[in-house]
Amino acid sequence: KNAKVSIFRADLRNGEDMEGLLAFIRSLPDGLDIVVNNAGHSIRRPIAESLNRYHDFTRTMAINYFAPVQLLLATIPILKKKQGQIINISTVNTLLVPLPYWAAYQASKSAFDTWFRSAAPELNAMGISTTSIYLPLVKTSMIEPTPVYQKLPAMSPEHVAKIICHSIYSRRKIYKPWWLIFGQLASVCFRGIWELLTPLMLEKR
């Protein structure tokens, strides 16, 4: 079957770009069935190097939290008419103990994850399906600035695409790697030890 693809390029931190995108969505003759949120501006920087970089935190919140919230608030009425679906591509880090150097990124992704999970029951009551996909490291251009990540195992974008597609037709509520449960248990059981030892390890660097 033939498919028509339309591309609307926009910086969702820019108010005019956002309004343009929303106008485009509202003009779709067949409405809207699915929204996939894959916001992910990432910054790895120690707090000591962030003292004069407050903009690191505002820009990560702008694209990872405020933009998807604004987009969904505007599209929920459209999705409700079609009994549609919202898929949020999150990170496993939102379910684990926070890591040093990632304060800006983790705070912004956790903020939207919490917003989305809080809104999900209300959205479900409207007939809108919700799916949270928690991913580990994915081999994309976003991880290239972090040299240590080049040596770590990472999911391929093709694998992730299959997970998203499966979530669309299955409408599963949550996807997360099978091993994440062990990381979550460790985050609860060994949090005190982690918080005690991590500063000592950072001092030796």
* CA 103 centroid distance within chain: 15
String of DSSP letters for the chain? -----------TTSHHHHHHHHHHHHT-TT---EEEE---------GGG-TT-HHHHHHHHIIIIIHHHHHHHHHHHHHHHHT-EEEEEEEGGGGS---TT-HHHHHHHHHHHHHHHHHHHHHHHTT-EEEEEEE--B-SGGGTT-GGGGGS--B-HHHHHHHHHHHHHH--SEE--TTHHHHHHHHHHTHHHHHHHHHHHHHT-
- What is the reported pLDDT for 3? 79
Average pLDDT of the residues of the chain: 93
- What is the reported pLDDT for 25? 96
Burial class (CB in 10 A: 0-12, 13-18, 19+), 72: buried
Please compute the mean of the pLDDT values over residues 91-107 and round it to a whole number.
95
- What is the reported pLDDT for 2? 79
Which residue is it, tokens 């894959």?
38
| Whether 98 contacts 148, CB under 8 Å | no
Q: What percent of the chain has pLDDT above 70?
A: 100
pLDDT tens track for 9-60: 999 999 999 999 999 999 999 999 999 999 778 899 999 999 999 999 999 9
| Whether 64 contacts 106, CB under 8 Å | no
- What is the reported pLDDT for 152? 82
Q: Does residue 92 surpass a pLDDT of 70?
A: yes
Whole-angstrom distance, CA of residue 165 vs CA of residue 201: 41
149 is catalytic: no
Q: Does residue 1 surpass a pLDDT of 80?
A: no
Please compute the mean of the pLDDT values over residues 96-111 and round it to a whole number.
95
pLDDT tens track for 133-172: 999 989 888 787 777 777 788 899 999 999 999 999 999 9
Choosing from 54, 65, 101, 105, which is the catalytic residue? 105
- What is the reported pLDDT for 54? 97
In the numeric block, which tokens belong to residue 161?
């695409």
Q: State pTM to two decimals.
A: 0.91
